[in-house]
Amino acid sequence: MPETDMSESKLPIAVFLSGSGRTLANLIRHRDEHGLPIDIRLVISSRDDVRGLEIAKDDGIPTRCVRKRDHRDPFEHAREMFDPCRDAEVAYVVMAGYLNHVLIPNDFENRVINIHPSLLPSFGGAGMYGHFVHDAVLKRGVKISGCTVHFVDNEYDNGPIIVQRSCPVKPDDDADTLAARVFEQECLALPEALRTLL
C-alpha cells in the first residue's frame, strides 16, 4: 500500500456510490456523532443526478461522476475511477451502493470494500442487489438474513469477509420490511469494518 496521510489516526477513504447516498450519510453521521476515525476525501458516483452527490457536496467532500457507458474499455473505466483515489492518497475505497462492475487494479487489491445486503456467500452474484436480494431471501424461506462487509475482487460478491451482522426474517416480512431491518445492521457493520481496518 502506498504512503497515506494517517494524521490523527483517521483512515483516508473514497466512497463509490450510485444512488441515494444513505450509506454515505451513515458514515458521515458515525464520523461526526460517534467518533468514527475516517477522512472521506472523495466521492465518485456512476450517475450525476443522485442524492449521494448532494450529501457529499453539503459535507464539503470533493465529488466526481464517472459513467461506465462513457468508457467502453473496462481498463479505461477503472483508471477513471481509481486515478482520483490515488491522487487523493486514500487508503481504502468503500463501495456504498455502487451498482457498476469495475475492475480492481493490482495496487488496490484488498483495499476496496463493499457492503452487501445478505449473509454471503448466500444471495450474492451478478444481479443480486437491493430488493432482488430480499425477494430471493423471502422466496427461499430463509429464517436469518443480514449483511456482509467484504473485500472486493474481480468477481461479484466474492472477496474475503471482514464483518457480518445478522437479523431475523419475520413471517410477515415483505422485501421492504426486511430491507429496512437489514439496513439497520448495515449501518453498524460498515463502521465496525472500518474501525477494524484502521
Rg (CA), the chain: 16
Q: Catalytic: 71?
A: no
| Catalytic residue selected from 30, 116, 134, 150 | 116
Q: How far apart are CA 31 and CA 26, in angstroms?
A: 9
- Taking the CB of residue 98, how many other CB atoms lie within 10 A of it? 24
Question: In whole angstroms, how far apart are CA 84 and each of 64, 66, 104?
Answer: 9, 11, 14
Q: How far apart are CA 23 and CA 4, in angstroms?
A: 24
Q: How far apart are CA 169 and CA 117, in angstroms?
A: 13
Tracing cell 451502493 back to the chain, one arrives at 97
Supply the residues annotated as catalytic: 116
